[in-house]
Amino acid sequence: MSYIFYMTKKLEVYPNRIRELREALGMTQESVGEQIGKSAVHVGHLELGRRELSLPMLRAFARVFDVSVADVLSVEDNPRGFHPRCEQLMNNWTKSGEAGRLAIERVAECMVELSEGR
């Protein structure tokens, strides 16, 4: 629960998810900059919204972080965006077949009930 709160606070503070995604992967601004052909300072400016993100730059960050372009956007710009871990769970659910999907749904329902103390 505190993890979700932490993620939400970070997303509200920054104009995009570059910093969040970079830190989740243990990357530095310099290492990301090398991969997209920009300086660490430039990456920092993009993280803070001091420079506008172009579509090609969004695509470059998405490739580096192995997420969709929409996942690089802020919650305000992409309110239905999912954390990469949630996206992976949804992918697993989709691939699991009918019996697997029902089992995953039951587990999720039980976890919610457990967390609510039912």
Domains annotated on the chain, with CATH? 2-79 (1.10.260.40), 85-115 (no CATH)
In angstroms, the CA 65 to CA 73 distance is 13
For 69-114, write each residue's pLDDT tens digit. 988 988 777 767 666 677 778 778 888 889 999 999 999 899 998 8
Q: Is 110 exposed, middle or buried (0-12, 13-18, 19+ CB in 10 A)?
A: exposed
Model pTM?
0.60
In the chain, the amino acid numbered 54 is: S
- Would you say 69 and 59 are in contact if contact means Cβ atoms under 8 Å apart? yes
Q: Give the rounded percent of residues in the chain with a pLDDT score beyond 70.
A: 84
Q: Give the rounded percent of residues in the chain with a pLDDT score beyond 90.
A: 48
